[in-house]
Structure 1
Amino acid sequence: MNVPLLLGAGLAAGVVNAIAGGGSLITFPALLAAGLPPVAANVTNSIAVCPGYLASVAGSWRDLPGRVAWGLVPAALAGTAAGCALLLLGPESTFEGVVPFLVLGASLALLVPKKESRTAHPAVTHALVAGISVYGGYFGAALGVMMIAGLSFALAEPLRRISALKNVTSLVSGLTTAVVFGLFAPVDWLAVAVVAPAAIVGGFAGAKAARRIPARILRAAIVGFGVLVSGWLFLR
């Protein structure tokens, strides 16, 4: 096992997840390069990056609209559980075929002008979070990109608050996958022990950086990264 490779990937993924999402596209290929089969790499990756989400929440706590965050927890939990069931019980090829289109669409959605004074009905917000969380439970790469796009569409909040909410829903999704995959999937726990601590450090540092980046620059960075992620998914 290439420990330096996994340490570096975990650190970078934690930073990227906190700022824009998509850190799994760093750790997942690194786990494949370390010799894990695709399914084992996928479930190992989901558990390994989970602690980084906790650090991201801690780092963005001051920007978090608490009432909204607590309301989104059940939707994120239910959607992620459904996605995990799809991965473990259903065919993988059909869902993977639409993943690049989902990531690209979510990224470009951030370019659509939005009036900050309007907020969608709570049911719409919950449905969006649940639907995106299904994807998070199934594969999870660029989950943060998609979640930011969905929350930006539904909520009249500054982007730094949207990013903080994204960290909470990502944490819920990560904890759910950790429990389900830890019990029922072929997790490489040694790889988790290497990647997870690095993801914690990177997640906390990334969340602090996100608070200092102007909204326009942060939005452009998220869109650009999301387009790159979708391109990688189309080609892999």
Structure 2
Amino acid sequence: MVLQFIFLIAAGIVAGLMATIAGLASIASYPALLMVGIPPVIANVTNTVSLIFTGVGAIPASLKELHGQWHRALGYTILAVIGSVSGSALLLVAPASTFEKIVPFFILVAGVMLLLSGRGKELKEEERLRRAEMHPTRHKILTLASYLGIVLVGGYLGYFGAAGGVVLLAILAVITRESFAKYNAVKNVMTFACNLCSSAYFIMTTTVAWHAVLPLGIGLLIGGFCGPKIVRHVNIKLLRILIAIAAFLLAGDLFVKAYF
């Protein structure tokens, strides 16, 4: 029992770092819950409840990047939360066996999205502004599509969430004109709110493995607090590649367990 407690703390630290740096907490925390014997759907619910602690650690550590962005962060967060409640309800309606079979594909897409979201970030701010001015109608359409995308990703975060943060990063890269560290901080606020709302719904309607929430939450709090500080200095490109490789390996492992 002590080893399991320590294991979940360690998994939580890794997941908290991945959440705040790359938006991929569930790739570490969800499998950890499966490894200690928690059934898939309950593991996913427990994971979502535990992820609240990531935001508790990440938001205070992101205050420097969030300065002057709270109005924008609030607007985007409202859109994401609208979707998250629907996604949470869908999780409890869908059969557990269905969820277990589609999770490997979620994680596979997570790895792909992580790699794709890192492309094109070298475009200079002046060039981005010039393109927006040259095509105002296209820019408006893209912005509206991005807002709809935030609602849909919010729904996905409520359902499972792996790669949800990555997709949010990709969307924010399109509709904001800030550095990675700044829109990553906005993403941390959005995912925290989605996890909080989904958790409230889950606690009232289904089973949570509370014995796992405490150790995993401790780790997520530590990782969530350290992540934004690391983002200011780490080689993001290399980190994305390493995490994507881990995602592909995990997706293959879960696929074999679900289908064979």
TM range (shorter): 0.7 to 0.9
1:24 aligns with 26
RMSD: 2.2
Q: Deviations over 1:170-223 (max 9, x none)?
A: 11111012101111121011111221122111110111111233xxx3144235
Equivalent pairs counted in the alignment come to 233
Provide closer, same or farther for how the CA distance between residues 165 and 25 of structure 1 changes in structure 2, counting only shifts above 3 A: same
The correspondence for 1:218, drawn from 223, 226, 236, is 236
**Contact 2:17 2:224 (8 Å CA) reproduced:** yes
Q: Return the match for 2:251 from 214, 228, 233.
A: 233
2:92 corresponds to 1:106: no
The CA deviation at 1:154 is 2.7
Question: Does structure 1 retain, via aligned residues, the 8 Å contact 2:12–2:216?
Answer: yes
1:12–1:26 Cα contact (<8 Å) kept: yes
Query: Partner of 2:217 in structure 1?
Result: 196
Partner of 1:54: 56
Distance 1:62 1:42 in 2: 32
Conservation of the 8 A alpha-carbon contact between 1:23 and 1:141? yes
Aligned AA (1:23): A
Structure 1 residue aligned with 2:144, among 113, 116, 123?
A: 123
Seq. identity, %: 28
Residue in 2 that maps onto 1:158: 179
What CA distance in whole angstroms lies between the structure 1 residues aligned with 2:199 and 2:33? 17
Superposition map of 1:6-155 within 5 A? 6-64=8-66, 65-91=69-95, 92-93=98-99, 96=103, 98-100=105-107, 102-113=109-120, 115=123, 116=125, 117-118=128-129, 120-121=139-140, 122-155=143-176
CA 1:102–1:133: 2 relative to 1, 3 Å: farther
Distance 1:20 1:182 in 2: 27
Which consecutive unaligned segments of at least 5 residues does structure 1 have?
none
Counterpart CA distance in 1 for 2:200 and 2:214 is 16
What is the TM-score of this pair, normalised by structure 2? 0.80
Residue in 2 aligned with 1:185?
Answer: 206
- In structure 2, runs of 5+ residues without a counterpart are 133-138, 255-260
8 Å contact from structure 1 (residues 147, 166) kept in 2:
yes
How much has 1:155 moved relative to structure 2? 2.2
Mean Cα displacement is larger for which, 220-229 or 179-188? 220-229
Amino acid at match of 2:251: L
Query: Which amino acid in 2 is paired with 1:72?
Result: Y
Return the letter of the residue paired with 1:218: I
SS at match of 2:178: coil
How big is the shift at 1:97? 6.8
Q: Distance in 2 between matches of 1:127 and 1:31?
A: 32
* C-alpha contact 2:47 2:213 (8 A) present in aligned 1: yes
- 1:142 maps to a residue whose letter is A
SS at match of 2:232: helix
